[in-house]
Amino acid sequence: MLRLDSVRKTFNPGTANEVRALGGVTLEFASGSFTVVIGTNGSGKSTLQAAISGAFELDAGTVSVDGIAITRWPEYRRAHLIGRVFQDPFAGTAPELTVAENLALASKRGQWRTLTPLLRGAKRGVWRDLLSRIGLGLEDRLDDPIGLLSGGQRQSITLLMATLTNPKVLLLDEHTAALDPRSAELVIRLTTSLVAESASKARCTTIMVTHSMQQAATLGDRLIAMHRGRVYLDVSGAEKKKLTETELLGLFSQMRRDDRFDDEACALVMNQYR
Ligand SMILES: Nc1ncnc2c1ncn2[C@@H]1O[C@H](COP(=O)(O)OP(=O)(O)O)[C@@H](O)[C@H]1O
Ligand SMILES: [Mg+2]
């Protein structure tokens, strides 16, 4: 189980650029659950994920995984617990290294690593099998530099890499936003199967941020909407299932239309969608 307790983060405090990115967020994510996070631009979605991965020190609050407090653990120490995929297909992989070399590095994430012994190992067969599942013929491109592949191919491999070490937590941050619709569709299909597999194999907890209301309506077992550094909607189970794309779009444009909502007014709007 992943738990955040009263997590606060303000960037550039005490300056003209002060931003309250997380205003006291408390959330519990069950092991094996799949949560989709939506919200207006700048509402704190990426900061929420960064707080979990340890990209910065929190101003206040705690983060724990399976009852172990990791709040003070630096990012590298959490790396073996957490898999991440970002929006940019060029983040997360080393473009000049081959597909096999990237997979070799990913398989040792969070551990001391040198490349050569890894590549001598008999892993290639395993990787070929994994890559063939994507259905893009990537199993025949193990020795190509990953930088030669398309955005969709790279995001697919990055997803495989993120789940390779059976992390306890998988964080996806708008990982299909930069892709053309066909590639996005493909990456989402792969996401669905890898998330389900990681949940059953390692009880992995997935948190996926998306800009797509269609993805938000159809994926996951829980939906969280963020607004101004706070959680404003948190639905799961049957309640989540009955939310339609149109309702989510309505909720979204309402949030966007009036960014000056005080907390109470915003909560009232959200209630319409329950
Ligand atoms: N490293 C940073 N330095 C300063 N401000 C930041 C930083 N990261 C995020 N912010 C600000 O915090 C707010 C929340 O950002 P973010 O979590 O990236 O939003 P979202 O992912 O929901 O679009 C935004 O106003 C953003 O500009
Ligand atoms: Mg973001």
Q: Whose CA is nearest to atom 12 of ligand 1?
A: 21
Task: Judge whether residue 15 has pLDDT over 70.
Answer: yes
Residue with tokens 């199993």: 139
According to the model, what pLDDT value does residue 21 have? Answer: 97
What residues pair up with 209 in beta bridges, in sequence order?
A: 37, 173
Q: Name the nearest CA neighbour of 236 among 250, 248, 247, 222.
A: 222
Amino acid at 196: A
Q: Report the Cα 41 to chain-centroid distance in Å.
A: 16
In DSSP notation, 14-79 reads TSTT-EEEEEEEEEEE-TT-EEEEEESTTSSHHHHHHHHHTSS--SEEEEEETTEE-TT--HHHHT
According to the model, what pLDDT value does residue 11 have? Answer: 97
pLDDT in tens, 116-155: 555 555 578 888 988 998 888 999 999 999 999 999 999 9
Number of the ligand closest to the Cα of 44: 1
Whole-number average pLDDT of the chain: 89
Q: Whose CA is nearest to atom 5 of ligand 1?
A: 11
Number of the ligand closest to the Cα of 39: 1
What are residue 173's phi and psi, to 5 degrees?
-115, 95
Average pLDDT over residues 167-172: 97
User: Is the beta carbon of 21 within 6 A of some atom in ligand 1?
Assistant: yes
Average pLDDT over residues 258-269: 58
According to the model, what pLDDT value does residue 272 have? Answer: 64
User: Is the beta carbon of 224 within 6 A of some atom in ligand 1?
Assistant: no
Ligand 1 atom closest to residue 22's alpha carbon, by position in its atom list = 14
pTM > 0.85: yes or no: yes
pLDDT in tens, 84-113: 999 998 888 889 999 999 998 888 776 655
Residue ranges of domains in the chain: 2-90+166-271
According to the model, what pLDDT value does residue 64 have? Answer: 98
Task: Judge whether residue 260 has pLDDT over 60.
Answer: no
According to the model, what pLDDT value does residue 150 have? Answer: 93
**Cβ(175)–Cβ(194) below 8 Å:** no
Ligand 1 atom closest to residue 48's alpha carbon, by position in its atom list = 17
Pocket test for ligand 1, best of 8, 17, 47, 171 (most atoms within 8 A of CB): 47
Ligand 1 centroid from CA 229, angstroms: 9
* Secondary-structure class of domain 2-90+166-271 per CATH: alpha beta
Q: Whose CA is nearest to atom 26 of ligand 1?
A: 42
User: Is the beta carbon of 39 within 6 A of some atom in ligand 1?
Assistant: yes
pLDDT in tens, 19-61: 999 999 999 999 999 999 999 889 999 999 999 999 999 999 9
Q: Name the nearest CA neighbour of 181 among 193, 189, 192.
A: 189
Contacts of residue 242, defined as CB under 8 A and 6 or more positions apart, other chains included, come to: none
Task: Judge whether residue 262 has pLDDT over 60.
Answer: no
pLDDT in tens, 214-232: 999 999 999 999 999 999 8
Average pLDDT over residues 162-178: 95
Which structure tokens are listed for 270?
């959200």
According to the model, what pLDDT value does residue 124 have? Answer: 84
User: Is the beta carbon of 43 within 6 A of some atom in ligand 1?
Assistant: yes
Ligand 1 centroid from CA 48, angstroms: 10
